[in-house]
Amino acid sequence: MGQDPLSNITILGAGFGALTTLRQLRRRGVQAEITVIAPRDELHYLPSAIWIPSGLRKPDDLRIPLAHLFAAQRAQFIQASVTGLADGGRTVRTDKGEFRNDQLVIATGGRFIRKLAGIEFALVPCEGIAVTEEMGQRLQALQGGTIAVGFATNPNEQSAMRGGPMFEFLFGIDALLRQQGRRSQFQIVFFSPAARPGARLGEKAVDGLLAEMARREIRTHLGHKILSFDERKVFTEGGEIDADLILFMPGLTGPAWLEGSGLPLSPGGMIAADAKCRVHGVPGVWVIGDCGSYPGPDWLAKQAHQADLQAKAAAANIAAAMAGREPSVNFRPELICIIDTLKDGILVYRSKRLSFVTPKIRLFHWMKRFFEIYYLREFS
């Protein structure tokens, strides 16, 4: 059975997973109408936001207009925010009206859990480019003091976290202050409720990260539950941390509009899906990236690379379903993380068959910059 050229595939989101899904569907010859719904027609390339405080990148360098891509891929873009679903996912409700679909791809990303008292006093770098820009401005304005950097996870879903970028901000701040000749005027403290933070990267990686902190004279405050923040303190069950600047990455959960959507949710509030990215028990609805909860190893990452792999599998399965075939492609679990330190980088890799961590070398800093160039070209 051939594809119905009048059918509609709606993609929610304009991040890595959403854009890769769009491109992969067209590469597989899907002729259906494709609608993309997102709050903005820009990709914000957050992996390089770690370089904004140092001036290596400017905010506008990382905002990629998508109008050309949507035109090239014959996709209709609707600038709107999703507010809910109806009819088993066949209707998307937004602040600009309702939109029907025959296949729905949810790739909106996750939402940071902001329940801790006083969290408004902490900067959450991955919330957007503007936050990292503010972080750089506040860091530059400080004449000295203590900088506290930490992260936590979703207590109901341990994999729902973004720890890697915080190691990069941690080492990047240290490197920047040394370049400026100001490091002796600051204390840097890394905090986490985990006794061995970054365990998903592997035990060797954790050992290496902790050793790098010690070498850089970064103090650690580990294994204590985080209780709250105020303007100048981090409060934990193991004591207080005085801080003139607090950077904190809380755990992730699903978008707020999932409540009442009728979709099955994981204990951590993500959309429950199988290895083919199908939402459990809801035909024609697929999920990609941070807003989903998937089967896989305990180190399965919330990162752009994994979203790309899920998008490729989902696109193959959607193309099969629309052609009357049974979806058969599972996404590949794979973690690739380059922990950048402004001049050098540490490469961490994990798959079902292989796991390794490299020493810190300059090549991996340039590899991270190469990936940036690749993505900026692919999506521009």
User: How many Cβ atoms are within 10 Å of 83's Cβ, its own excluded?
Assistant: 16
Percent of the chain with pLDDT over 70: 98
Kindly report, residue by residue over 225-254, the tens digit of the pLDDT: 999 999 999 999 999 999 999 999 999 999
Q: Which residues of 286-324 are buried (b: 16+ CB within 10 A; e: fewer)?
A: bbbbbbbbbebeebbbbbbebbbbbbbbbbbbbbbbbee
Q: Is the pLDDT of residue 377 over 90?
A: no
Q: What is the pLDDT of residue 116?
A: 97
Q: What is the pLDDT of residue 304?
A: 92
Asked if residues 90 and 84 have their Cβ atoms less than 8 Å apart, the reply is no
User: How many Cβ atoms are within 10 Å of 255's Cβ, its own excluded?
Assistant: 22
Name the pTM for this structure.
0.94
Rounded Cα gap, residues 58 and 44, in angstroms: 12
CA distances from 339 to 48, 170, 212, 360 (A): 11, 10, 12, 9
Q: What is the pLDDT of residue 172?
A: 96
Closest CA to 227 of 217, 218, 235, 216: 235
Q: What is the pLDDT of residue 5?
A: 53
Domains of the chain: 8-110+254-322 (3.50.50.60), 119-251 (3.50.50.60)
pLDDT band at 155 (very low <50, low <70, confident <90, very high): very high
Token pair of 244 as six digits: 């003139």
pLDDT band at 1 (very low <50, low <70, confident <90, very high): very low
User: Mean pLDDT across the stretch 128-152?
Assistant: 96
pLDDT band at 199 (very low <50, low <70, confident <90, very high): confident
Q: Is the pLDDT of residue 375 over 90?
A: no
Kindly report, residue by residue over 101-133, the tens digit of the pLDDT: 999 999 999 999 999 999 999 999 989 999 999
User: Mean pLDDT across the stretch 8-25?
Assistant: 97
Token pair of 54 as six digits: 């140092």
Write down the mean pLDDT value for the chain: 95
CA distances from 46 to 129, 341, 372 (A): 7, 16, 10
pLDDT band at 159 (very low <50, low <70, confident <90, very high): confident
User: How many Cβ atoms are within 10 Å of 121's Cβ, its own excluded?
Assistant: 16
Residue 277 corresponds to which amino acid? C
Top-ranked range on mean pLDDT: pick from 275-279, 340-344, 375-379: 275-279
